[in-house]
A and B are shown apart, each in its own frame.
Chain A
Amino acid sequence: MDQQNAKPKRSLLRIVLRNYQVYLLLLPCIIYFALFCYGPMYGLQIAFKNYNTGLGILGSEWAGLKWFQQFLSSGVFWGIFKNTLVLSVYTIIVGFPLPIILALMLNEVRSLRFKKITQTISYAPHFISTVVIVSMITLFLSPSSGVINKIIEAFGGDAVYFMIKPKLFQHIYAFSGIWQHVGWSSIIYLAALTGIDPTLYEAAQMDGASRMRCIWHINLPSLRPVIVISLILSAGGVLGGDFEKILLMQNASIMETADVISTYVYRLGIGMSQFSLSSAIGVFNSVINFIVLLLVNKICRKVGDTSLW
């Protein structure tokens, strides 16, 4: 009996020791998450407290769910909740399929040189900082000097002041997002495509399958696990969005669609030092994200055979 109980313990230690190089490689990652993701979480408690900067996080009084109630019952809640949701869902819908299509197309390109150039150009915007990207968007869409408006005017149209139209904000955000990230996001799919067994194509060609048929019956099914995983991950950020970019794109006249939870938290927290209230809103946001992640994961597991866990 004793021997049996002791056995797994020793074997675990032995496994670790035997493969210590591998665990050593894992260590920085664990330390990173512990220090920067799990460690700061103890600060979450200020969402349930009357945070007093002088008394500190542990010293402040408990306030229960007061801040959550204040936020959920306030007049602004539904507005910004809706904005956040619409913006993210829209971004996923228009932004999600394009990297897959781009990857499939690049995969069919025969000229290696052309493929490399296209890839480099398409993922270059990913490395430009958000501040610069937003300035570029503002300049391109400027009513007096922007490229787009010059084209519109050349065809006899009237210049449009794109950045002040609340209805256009979501489109500008989503489509500039595609421009920024389509190349970068396609890399993961391209990698998956190179891993496909070439004998599958040979067999299909023997049977007389066209290129479109090959894509449909070989490439897409092989990509399915990767697609599902990426979809689950992006669903987990459904109440997220690119905070920096949204904040920089905001201006007074489009707040009815451009004000989202993250920018609201920023305004209340940093702008008005309402730390507890803004933490509560942040916690609310994360909880919703987590629930959506669980739901989508569950659906994926039920429907297909791939899921995060």
Chain B
Amino acid sequence: MKTRKSLAALLACIMLMSIFAGCNANGESQSGTPSEESGQVSGVSFNEADFPITDEPTTLTAVMLSQSPNWEYNSDMYIFKKMEELTNVKLEITNIPGEQWWEQLQLMFASNELPDILFVGVGAFINASDVITYANAGQLLPLNDLLEKYAPTYTALTDQYPEKAKLYTPDGNMYGMTALIYPVDGNARPFINQQWAGDLGYEMPETYEDFVELLKAFRDSDPSGQGTIPLSGSAGGNEVDPFVAGPLGMTYGWSNKDTWQVVDGKIVHVTQHPMYEQYLKNMNELYSEKLLDQEYYTQSQSELLAKGAAMRVGAYVHSAHFLFTNSQDPAVYDQYRMPVPFTSEYFDEIACYQDAINPAGIFITSACENPEIAVRYLDYFFTDEAAEWMYGPEDQGDGKGGIEWTEDRTVFKINTDEDSDGAYDYTNRYIAPTNVIIGNYYYSDFSKKLEMALGDQSLTYNQQTYRVPYVKPAAPTLYLSAAEIEQTAMIADAVNTYYAQMESKIVMGEEPLESYADMISHLESLGLNDLVEAYNTAYDRYKSNMN
């Protein structure tokens, strides 16, 4: 009995200690709030317009999302060396691998252990609701004034696009910078095996109906000789929606159709889109005719890639053909080509969709003592000179790779070292993290001199030829206010879980097509209309922010 009592006392003591420990940790991290007045910088000198940005060497910490185990972004990369020479600012980088991203991101904020700058890259690698929650908690800094004062290049670039409006949150502030400004096509790209199509006597399809015919030919003639899967993908990152939803006029930001679609100037949930029932019908037809991979809804990315490497797939959606086929041999991956966006009997516009201004992907946090320095530093990434640096140094012929010019210096190509898988991998290993900070990389005058040759550059060629000319703005990423998020979080989860469940069931024939009406009424009973209303309010705010 006595033993137990003293044991309990001991435990109580330890618990108390941990409370105080937590208290301390909080107190410290709170003190890092920067001074509001501009120009006043704690500890170091700050040059408002000239270089270097500070006279004494300064270090900023950064967290970056690294999407490949090959990429360990660090301050020795070419671009950061050049930037350090110019600005006297060194970036101390922590990488977070893709598979740990979401947990690490939330834990970083929840424990208030933040870097000065957070790079989440291009794409939806931070939820719109998180931006609001953490901005509301004071962990993300409002950048409006800072950008206006210290980011002339960035501001001039973004001002060209009315879609810049999406960067403003409901409180009227911008909390993040976009990492990608120009309309290049999205991350998930459709590919079709052009060689098989040619062998079977088919042209590259330009309409959805021709595409289905081609898939049937893939199914019936089995050109791979090992059980050809006409169309493959995986729900959860590699949806086939650019093939199916696009030709029905539904927008898709990445591979998945947007949850919120704009119809007649109003926001509707994707299930309320006039073409959604047709979408279900088309998907169901693809599935029941065994044109769509029968494991589409359950297979993981790695299972999909195994099929890709075995060359069993006729058409798919993935970020790159050489990644999907796991091959560096142009003879293999060049069998696949991107089609132009399809039209269909329901929709005759040739269009693929992309946020013209990518949602905010670079954030400055409350841990940053000198946000002015950070903003000036980041702004320089959007200059033409920085874009040039992102292509790396000239090849010295020492096997380390670099850019190689033609004799008249009008066109260059990128040579890689032995370890790298193509130019993209090479760049992200040694030169610049073009996945998280892109700046003017794709559209500077310098980048136009890059040779469109084989190698993985043929991906760029595919993009430039078949997709980029047809890019139209997708539905914007909308910010709900903190109060709206709190009211709708559970509804949003319930609605999206139920809708995904019903959609997959109807497509796979577990539920009849007619249950679409029941589905809508059940969604409404879950509170769909409240959710739609909240998003329409957000959309009105977005429109009022457009210039």
Q: Which residues of A contact B (CB under 8 A)?
A: 8, 12, 30, 33-35, 38-43, 52-59, 70-71, 74-76, 135, 138, 142-144, 161, 163-165, 251-256, 259, 264, 267-275, 277
Closest to B18 in A: A39
Closest Cβ–Cβ distance, residue B109 to chain A (whole Å): 5
Residues of B within 8 A of A161 (CB): 294, 508
Interface membership of chain B positions 366-388, coded 1 if the CB is closer than 8 angstroms to chain A and 0 otherwise = 10000000000000000000000
User: Once the chains are docked, how many angstroms separate the CA of A252 from the CA of B130?
Assistant: 23
Beta-carbon contact of A268 and B490 below 8 Å: yes
Closest Cβ–Cβ distance, residue A177 to chain B (whole Å): 19
Residues of B within 8 A of A55 (CB): 137
Q: Interface SS of chain A: helix, strand, loop or mixed?
A: helix
Residues of A within 8 A of B500 (CB): 252, 255
Closest to B508 in A: A164
User: Once the chains are docked, how many angstroms separate the CA of A12 from the CA of B106?
Assistant: 47
**A35, A76, A165: residue with the most chain B Cβ atoms closer than 10 Å:** A76
Residues of A within 8 A of B31 (CB): none
**Residue B497 interfacial (CB < 8 Å):** yes
Residues of A within 8 A of B25 (CB): 56
Beta-carbon contact of B109 and A53 below 8 Å: yes
User: Once the chains are docked, how many angstroms separate the CA of A198 from the CA of B375?
Assistant: 80
Beta-carbon contact of B136 and A52 below 8 Å: yes
Beta-carbon contact of B103 and A270 below 8 Å: yes
User: Once the chains are docked, how many angstroms separate the CA of A254 from the CA of B501?
Assistant: 7
User: Once the chains are docked, how many angstroms separate the CA of A292 from the CA of B492?
Assistant: 32
Q: 22 pairs across A/B with beta carbons < 8 Å?
A: A12-B2, A12-B3, A34-B14, A35-B14, A53-B112, A53-B139, A54-B134, A56-B22, A57-B22, A58-B22, A75-B525, A138-B303, A143-B295, A164-B505, A251-B504, A252-B504, A255-B498, A259-B497, A268-B490, A268-B493, A272-B492, A273-B134
Closest Cβ–Cβ distance, residue A176 to chain B (whole Å): 15
Q: Interface SS of chain B: helix, strand, loop or mixed?
A: helix
Top 8 A-B pairs, shortest CB-CB distance: A54-B137, A56-B26, A252-B500, A253-B504, A54-B138, A39-B18, A34-B14, A252-B504
Closest to B109 in A: A53
User: Once the chains are docked, how many angstroms separate the CA of A237 from the CA of B136?
Assistant: 37
Closest Cβ–Cβ distance, residue B225 to chain A (whole Å): 16
Residues of A within 8 A of B456 (CB): none
Which single member of A30, A56, A253 contacts B297 (CB below 8 Å)? A253
Further pairs besides A252-B497, A253-B501, A253-B510: 8, Cβ < 8 Å: A30-B11, A54-B366, A58-B22, A59-B26, A75-B526, A143-B294, A164-B298, A164-B510
Beta-carbon contact of B15 and A30 below 8 Å: no
Count class of interface residues, chain B: 35 or more
Residues of B within 8 A of A275 (CB): 110
User: Once the chains are docked, how many angstroms separate the CA of A142 from the CA of B235?
Assistant: 16
Closest Cβ–Cβ distance, residue B241 to chain A (whole Å): 14
Residues of A within 8 A of B298 (CB): 138, 163-164, 251
**Residue B133 interfacial (CB < 8 Å):** yes
**Residue B503 interfacial (CB < 8 Å):** yes
Q: Evaluate whether A253 and B508 lie within 8 angstroms (CB atoms) in the complex, with A52-B137, A58-B22, A142-B295 already known.
A: yes
Residues of B within 8 A of A59 (CB): 26
User: Once the chains are docked, how many angstroms separate the CA of A76 from the CA of B491?
Assistant: 9
Beta-carbon contact of A272 and B493 below 8 Å: yes
User: Once the chains are docked, how many angstroms separate the CA of A76 from the CA of B490?
Assistant: 9
Q: Evaluate whether A53 and B110 lie within 8 angstroms (CB atoms) in the complex, with A75-B525, A252-B500 already known.
A: yes
Residues of B within 8 A of A144 (CB): 227, 294-295
**Residue B102 interfacial (CB < 8 Å):** yes
Q: Which residues of B contact A (CB under 8 A)?
A: 2-3, 6-7, 10-11, 14-15, 18-19, 22-23, 25-26, 29-30, 102-103, 106, 109-110, 112, 127, 129-130, 133-134, 136-139, 227, 235, 294-295, 297-300, 303, 366, 486, 489-490, 492-494, 497-498, 500-501, 503-505, 508, 510, 525-527
Residues of A within 8 A of B129 (CB): 272-273
Beta-carbon contact of A164 and B504 below 8 Å: yes
Closest Cβ–Cβ distance, residue B32 to chain A (whole Å): 11
Residues of B within 8 A of A267 (CB): 493
User: Once the chains are docked, how many angstroms separate the CA of A272 from the CA of B15?
Assistant: 29
Beta-carbon contact of A270 and B106 below 8 Å: yes
User: Once the chains are docked, how many angstroms separate the CA of A54 from the CA of B135?
Assistant: 9
Residues of A within 8 A of B494 (CB): 74-76
Closest Cβ–Cβ distance, residue B284 to chain A (whole Å): 13
User: Once the chains are docked, how many angstroms separate the CA of A240 from the CA of B474?
Assistant: 42
Beta-carbon contact of B490 and A70 below 8 Å: yes
Beta-carbon contact of A277 and B133 below 8 Å: no
Closest Cβ–Cβ distance, residue B118 to chain A (whole Å): 14
Closest Cβ–Cβ distance, residue B264 to chain A (whole Å): 29
Residues of A within 8 A of B23 (CB): 58
Which single member of A39, A76, A143, A252 contacts B235 (CB below 8 Å)? A252
User: Once the chains are docked, how many angstroms separate the CA of A6 from the CA of B504?
Assistant: 73
Closest to A267 in B: B493
Q: Evaluate whether A8 and B2 lie within 8 angstroms (CB atoms) in the complex, with A56-B30, A252-B500, A270-B103 already known.
A: yes
User: Once the chains are docked, how many angstroms separate the CA of A53 from the CA of B527?
Assistant: 28
Residues of A within 8 A of B505 (CB): 164, 253
User: Once the chains are docked, how many angstroms separate the CA of A132 from the CA of B516?
Assistant: 36
User: Once the chains are docked, how many angstroms separate the CA of A38 from the CA of B7?
Assistant: 13
Residues of B within 8 A of A74 (CB): 490, 494
Closest Cβ–Cβ distance, residue B512 to chain A (whole Å): 15
Residues of B within 8 A of A274 (CB): 486, 489
Beta-carbon contact of B300 and A57 below 8 Å: no
User: Once the chains are docked, how many angstroms separate the CA of A243 from the CA of B110?
Assistant: 22
